[in-house]
With several copies, the nearest count.
Chain A
Amino acid sequence: MKAVVTVMLKAGVLDPQGKAIGQALAGLGFSGVGEVRAGKVIEIELTGTDPEAAKTQAEEMARKLLANTVIESFRVEVA
């Protein structure tokens, strides 16, 4: 089973990286580009077989380690 944890800066928190990427895309001539946000994704192989348990575990991992919950929020998908 695989858990995918996506970690993004919370809404309202400055995202210097996303901002710079947005400007670079515009500079490359891409049009219609609005706000860009950059985040992290962590893919974790898990040996368990229960998707619910895997999700709970991954959420705990995110809270404890993967996300800095002071400024970041996260979401977990299990596949």
Chain B
Amino acid sequence: MARDVNQALAREFGLSAGEYRNVLEIMGRTPSLTELGVFSVMWSEHCSYKSSRVWLKQLPTKAPWVIHGPGENAGVVDIGEGLAAIFKMESHNHPSFIEPYQGAATGVGGILRDVFTMGARPIANLNALRFGDPKLARTRRIFDGVVRGIGGYGNCVGVPTVGGEIDFHPAYNGNPLVNAMTVGIADKTKIFLSAAAGIGNPVVYVGSKTGRDGIHGATMASAEFGADSEEKRPTVQVGDPFVEKLLIEACLELMATDAIVAIQDMGAAGLTSSSVEMAGKGGVGIELNLDHVPQRETDMTAYEMMLSESQERMLMVLRPDRQDIARAIFEKWELDFAVIGHLTDTGRIVITHNGQVEADIPLAPLADQAPLYHRPTEETPPQPPLGPVADPVGLGAALRTLIACPDLCSRRWVWEQYDYTIGGQTVMRPGAADAAIVKLDGRSRALALTTDCTPRYVQADPEAGGAQAVAEAWRNITATGALPLAITDNMNFANPEKPRIMGQFAAAIRGMAAACIALDFPVVSGNVSLYNETEGKPILPTPAIGGLGVLEDAAQAVGYALAPGLDLVLIGTTQGWLGQSLWLREVTGREAGPPPPVDLAAERRHGDFVRGEILAGRIAACHDLADGGALIALAEMALAGDTGITVEPGGDAAIWFGEDQGRYILATADSAGLLGRAAAAGVPAQRIGASGGALLTLPDGDTISLAELRRLHEAFLPGWMDGAS
């Protein structure tokens, strides 16, 4: 190996001077290149959570229905009937900026593996996406690639993509966010974990071969890969969804036997993190002989194999007497299967290659002495109150603007590229309800799934915004009639070394934690993505929430498509909160004021009441109020059901476009009964209109036809993408 290991190289590998000193102390000597590589990836922000760990601890993670919280490949909750839902969300932001199609595709592949590695058959994918200013050609190219990539991978593996969310903001110009979520189902007594056990047990590699994918370019800048100045190797990984599909089927087939002791996907930092974590969690040692690693390229070094991020690979510890059964299954699915090592009692990871020991590291200090930072934080100062705002345009014009704007327009163009019916269990498709409803095959039970975050609120007030993101996920699930059970999160923030950013993170966690506790909605898995900024420009703080709820009977689910002849009742309190609202931004051009406060007690009371009414079969349609406020929610209900609405007269822009939280619109044949029960439950409710006809009649008497509304709503994305290549 041509390069000397020293502090300069350690810095190139991303280790600070202090961290490198720590490495020297643990090793008691200068580490080899491979050893330094192992330390650098295990102690990276991505694997060690060194900046975020102290804060993540504040999230509530327990509830009677939580089977496994954070710490495993994905979170596991009991959903009844002996079944568990396994789910997690993960980011692929940076790769998606460099190569949108492959970045997004491999993001989907990675999160799928985190879920099926635990024994679950994936039944749904969702995503949470943020893009820059749509006026930029680059934004369009990234958007196109990301959508194609998510579809390309998800459609091929045959997991329906049933939901997601998309926002645009110039803060994401140089740093889009691609967060992907997978939900799977398993027998709750057959969950597979990653802690290795059984000294002498074989360590088995399955899936695709290893290439030099994703090994970081900076660490490659030397002569060691051949004298000729070959074209700079891309650090982009290419996904193979076909192999992933085979891997899912082969793993599930093997999981039906008793062959597996422990299993983990090879995600970020591939072979390194999977082997170190499996051995570390099991408190055993591990010895790997890299000669046996299936390789796609020639002359790979130990360093390269340990750091490769080639996709579609898994690492397992097997019962030795079941090795042949396992091999036969993987051969049937035409996947590589190789015994590459075994467990030892040394507490060390030992890596050999070509008869040479390339690394020999004690595992305990690698984990226990991983860096942990209490980085300085600085609170975001509160936004000054908004004060009085004049309405420059009136209700009709504002509705026409908002319903067509990039953040509120129809996402049909996107979801029509995602297979959302495969599996034959999709009860509520994209565009039909506040959460997607996916039934469990052969049962009446169903899951309600959603992703949510309002980054402009988090930017203005990280704590309120963090609480709002959790509350909105809870509300979206509730609005279908389902009982919210748990969340996964994806904390996307900028550079944590800046106190203001770290302060955003800490405050968002505070807000999230408060909401999780108040709503009985614990965090069972998640991901942290930091350093999301380009040229010093940070993204909006974006703690994306993936929520999961359960419905005992899928037939009880309601969507927001409206039928004629119903009364519309607004649940919740409307003050007319315009701070950080889309009306303020799109109509007056201002991003100002504090975001709407979340009253968690009211949120819970209103939601529990709404769910009760839905499950009692008294509600024909329900929609939560979010971006754009009441009039936007009404317009969306009208469009989804192709049914007009006459809205009650009175009220101004603040009333109709304000974004007060904790609100729902219910469609019912019996508003008197509903109002009575709401009053009895202490839940604010008022009748705000009735459905029928083909017009939306606004509170000021202005009308707009559904046809025009639909044209406006559906225009932006197809128009914007027309001619995109």
Contact = CB atoms under 8 A, between A and B. Distances in A.
Interface of A: 9-16, 19-21, 23-24, 27, 65, 68, 70-71, 73
Contact of B240 (A14, A65, A70): A14
B99 A70 contact: yes
B297 interface: yes
A65 B725 contact: yes
A23 B334 contact: yes
Contacts of B243: 16
A16 to B, nearest CB: 4
Given A12-B233, A71-B236, A71-B238, A23 B211 contact: no
B580 to A, nearest CB: 37
Given A23-B723, A68-B99, A70-B98, A14 B213 contact: yes
Interface of B: 98-99, 101-102, 208, 211-213, 230-231, 233-234, 236-240, 242-243, 296-297, 310-311, 334, 723, 725
A13 B725 contact: no
Contacts of B236: 13, 70-71
Contact of A12 (B98, B102, B208, B212): B212
A27 B98 CA distance: 23
A19 B246 CA distance: 15
A71 B102 contact: yes
A14 B98 CA distance: 17
Given A21-B725, A70-B236, A71-B102, 12 more contacts: A9-B238, A12-B211, A12-B297, A13-B236, A14-B213, A14-B237, A19-B240, A20-B725, A23-B723, A65-B725, A70-B99, A73-B231
Name B's interface SS. Answer: loop
Contacts of B240: 14, 16, 19
Contacts of B101: 68
Nearest to B297: A12
A31 B311 CA distance: 29
A16 B207 CA distance: 13
A10 B334 contact: no
Nearest to A25: B725
By Cβ-Cβ distance, the 4 closest A-B pairs, closest first, are A16-B240, A24-B725, A14-B238, A70-B99
Given A23-B334, A27-B723, A70-B98, A16 B233 contact: no
Contacts of A14: 208, 211, 213, 237-238, 240, 296, 310-311
A12 B295 CA distance: 11
Contact of A71 (B212, B234, B297, B334): B234
B97 to A, nearest CB: 11
A73 B234 CA distance: 11
A23 B310 CA distance: 20
A21 B725 CA distance: 8
5 contacts: A10-B234, A11-B231, A14-B208, A24-B723, A71-B102
Contacts of B334: 23
Contacts of B231: 10-11, 73
Contact of A13 (B98, B208, B230, B238): B238
Contacts of B213: 13-14
A16 B242 contact: yes
B242 A20 contact: yes
Contacts of A68: 99, 101
Given A14-B310, A20-B725, A23-B723, A70 B242 contact: no
Nearest to B238: A14
A70 B240 CA distance: 17
Nearest to B103: A70
B236 to A, nearest CB: 6
Nearest to A14: B238
A73 to B, nearest CB: 7
Contacts of A11: 230-231
A16 B238 contact: yes
B99 to A, nearest CB: 5
A71 B233 contact: no
B96 to A, nearest CB: 12
A21 to B, nearest CB: 7
A59 to B, nearest CB: 16
Nearest to B232: A10
Nearest to B233: A12
B229 to A, nearest CB: 14
Contacts of A10: 231, 233-234
A15 B242 CA distance: 12
A13 B237 CA distance: 8
A13 B232 CA distance: 12
A57 B666 CA distance: 60
Nearest to A15: B238
B234 A13 contact: yes
A19 B311 CA distance: 15
Contacts of A15: 238
Contacts of B99: 68, 70-71
A23 B723 CA distance: 8
Contacts of A23: 334, 723
B452 to A, nearest CB: 32
B149 to A, nearest CB: 12
- Greatest chain B CB density within 10 A among A11, A23, A68 is at A68
A21 B609 CA distance: 55
Nearest to A13: B238
Contacts of B723: 23-24, 27
Nearest to B145: A68
Contacts of B230: 11
Contacts of A70: 98-99, 234, 236
A9 B99 CA distance: 13
A36 to B, nearest CB: 12
A13 B236 CA distance: 8
A13 B101 CA distance: 14
- Greatest chain B CB density within 10 A among A23, A65, A71 is at A71
Nearest to B237: A14
A14 B313 CA distance: 14
A27 B213 CA distance: 28
